A and B are shown apart, each in its own frame.
Chain A
């Protein structure tokens, strides 16, 4: 069957994205998880993935086109029946996948507004790492943010009479519902062949767009262009952060806990481990933090998920979003998928990769949409304590302060220890302080046995 691949919702308040480039062309086969193109949003240029095996039928939105969330980007041809069957369960799974589309999926009513979970984080500044590397975890990619097709009753009736597929039609009615005139207009144009123009001189446009999107370094190319795009994006990101954080402080009853723990064990183990490793294989302290948090979450699932529809919806997987500050301001908190089940080596690699891609504006849609909790660290130059602001609809953010040397009393003796203050800001609607305290303590304990992480 022929169906639309819509603009995914990648962030709180994301209403539209601009197609930067396509990595596919009509007739090309794509598999679940493939990156098919890049869209520019207030979070930067995001690589968007496809969630089912299909053949690209047509490119509906050419590079440079601004497309509202939910409206078609591509037309796909999938293998009929079977695919449909497969999809059903997937949709069910979607709720669970928490990760992904919690918002987009549930919020169809809001159509635009909900927030998948992007990045904005809030801590203050530095941050830490991220991981990700996802891609291959074919299992993780959540479902495409599917929303029920919105069409008026009479539009549906007429489309049936005319044999027109409503998928792929652009709705012009309230809430972008497909109306009778949309159906009749499509009939006039010749069936559901909505995909008009499609990919024009892809090549040229592509280059230009890609360039503009390249906030990244490498390109010593057209700096003016890049700067301009960067400024726009910066303003847009500021706005996105403003929206999400204001909503957080307005709606979420935060409670805050702090716990100072010794980092001696972790730092010593790290030094020994890294001693004989080449630079690219050296583990990052951030990876230990991430693993400690991700492991603790397994015992404290009430901090991993979303507050939606007046209830806590636990997430399926553990996909902590790592707050990453961007040069020039702003921040993102892309998901490190399944952080609880990855090795420290994998996490380190993932963190380095995602940090670089975040700054270069090359995040993937699933990374932006999937975080189930946020972890923020102010690195090793920052502050003692981080008071986090929860990224809605998540329900918790773990903050890790700077590692500092402090006097430390233990067993009747005062000594010097390198320590860090762990903090938790959590949504009191979803959890209580007692559990929060245990959660922080568990993270701390895990950092005392780095070899077990």
Chain B
């Protein structure tokens, strides 16, 4: 079945609504407007205003309402238009959702799922182009998912809803239009493990979200140069799949971490540190990183492009790790 990432997410919501009547979706404009990225288009007609709820412009309010509903036994899918606006709900997410189980001595789980669009590349300027996925991965009590494929877009939501604790799904804005084949029987997928999207032997490109798409393109380019790159899609930023990270480095001995987020204090730093901790003696070169340039994301197209990791940046980093090679790897 040919489909898009957007349709796959919609199908995931539809399936969840069908399977469990405690599930509902809420956010600004998810109903009549169909969602700011048109993910929920048609769902209002299908499920009615009780379950596809338009909310006031108050992230703190409706995210808090979602947490309350989850505490009350519901299985809310709270959409936040983009990660940028989630900052208005940080207190609810970080101080409430992430801590209540602990604060209540294990009495109250918060089975809320929060979806948000993330990332830059659409020329919507600095305050609409952030990649804060790694930021949220810093918080114990949250599970952070970054679906990068149609299968994950289709399958992660249900698994997340089954998790008794808060889960945040980051959908990169550039992925919504991604088209591809999805099995007719595609359904829920596990969310605990990273996945090798392409096998290789010379260098590991470790990434997530939109980085997976770019890394796969880079791997293609590297193959033409005789460099065999493995692409590891982390899928889950919290908890990180340490075993998968160590295993891929063990195979290739070189790693390039690709993260659209900023380098300083970013998730790329965490991944690099874990490689050093867990696979130091497997390394044949220092860990390299390809990250967003440390500036507010520029508005002009050429500057925005320059500020975000591109395929050629990944190619260059990978080549540099293998520099000095005479072609025969």
Residues of chain A having any CB pair with chain B under 8 Å = 152-157, 171-174, 176-177, 179-181
Contacts and interface: CB of A to CB of B under 8 A. Distances in A.
Given A180-B253, A181-B329, A153 B283 contact: yes
Shortest 8 CB-CB contacts between residues of A and residues of B: A172-B324, A152-B284, A180-B284, A153-B281, A154-B284, A179-B284, A153-B283, A157-B281
24 contacts: A152-B253, A152-B283, A152-B284, A153-B280, A153-B283, A153-B284, A154-B253, A154-B282, A154-B283, A157-B282, A171-B324, A172-B324, A172-B325, A172-B326, A173-B284, A174-B285, A174-B320, A174-B323, A174-B324, A176-B324, A177-B285, A179-B324, A180-B253, A180-B284
Given A153-B284, A154-B253, 5 more contacts: A153-B282, A154-B284, A156-B281, A172-B326, A174-B286
Contacts of A176: 324
A155 B281 contact: no
A172 B328 CA distance: 11
B244 interface: no
A174 B325 contact: no
A180 B325 CA distance: 11
A174 B320 CA distance: 7
B321 interface: yes
Q: Indicate the size class of the contact surface on chain B.
A: 10 to 19
A173 B329 contact: no
A169 B281 CA distance: 19
Interface in B306-325: 320-321, 323-325
Contacts of A181: 284, 325, 329
A258 B43 CA distance: 88
Contacts of A154: 253, 281-284
A88 to B, nearest CB: 25
Interface centre among B280, B284, B326 (most CB of A within 10 A): B284
Contacts of A173: 284-285, 323-324
Nearest to B250: A154
Contacts of B253: 152, 154, 180
A171 B285 CA distance: 12
B45 to A, nearest CB: 58
A139 to B, nearest CB: 39
A343 B143 CA distance: 79
Contacts of A155: 284
A156 B282 CA distance: 10
A156 B281 CA distance: 8
Contacts of B321: 174
Contacts of B325: 172, 181
A154 to B, nearest CB: 5
Nearest to B321: A174
Nearest to B288: A174
Nearest to B320: A174
Interface string B278-300: 00111111100000000000000
Contacts of B285: 152, 173-174, 177, 179
B137 to A, nearest CB: 27
Nearest to A155: B284
Contacts of A174: 285-286, 320-321, 323-324
Contacts of B320: 174
B272 to A, nearest CB: 14
A154 B255 CA distance: 13
Interface in B235-293: 253, 280-286
Contacts of A157: 281-282
Contacts of B280: 153
A156 B326 CA distance: 21
A174 B324 CA distance: 7
Interface in B86-105: none
Contacts of A180: 253, 284
Nearest to B276: A153
A180 B285 CA distance: 9
B121 to A, nearest CB: 30
Contacts of B329: 181
B64 to A, nearest CB: 48
Contacts of A177: 285
Contacts of B282: 153-154, 157
A274 B255 CA distance: 72
Contacts of A156: 281
Contacts of B284: 152-155, 173, 179-181
A153 B283 CA distance: 6
A176 B253 CA distance: 17
B204 to A, nearest CB: 13
Most interface-central of A172, A177, A179 (chain B CB within 10 A): A179
Contacts of A153: 280-284
A182 to B, nearest CB: 9
B319 to A, nearest CB: 11
B250 to A, nearest CB: 9
A435 B203 CA distance: 57
A181 B329 CA distance: 7
Contacts of A171: 324
A180 B252 CA distance: 10
Nearest to A185: B328
Nearest to B249: A154
Nearest to A156: B281
Nearest to B253: A154
B188 to A, nearest CB: 38
A172 B329 CA distance: 11
Nearest to A180: B284
Contacts of B286: 174
A173 B283 CA distance: 12
Nearest to B282: A154
A148 to B, nearest CB: 15
Interface in B36-54: none
A185 to B, nearest CB: 9
B281 to A, nearest CB: 5
Contacts of B283: 152-154
A153 B249 CA distance: 12
A174 B321 CA distance: 7
A254 to B, nearest CB: 36
B85 to A, nearest CB: 42
Interface in B117-145: none
Nearest to A172: B324
B280, B283, B326 interface centre (most CB from chain A within 10 Å)? B283
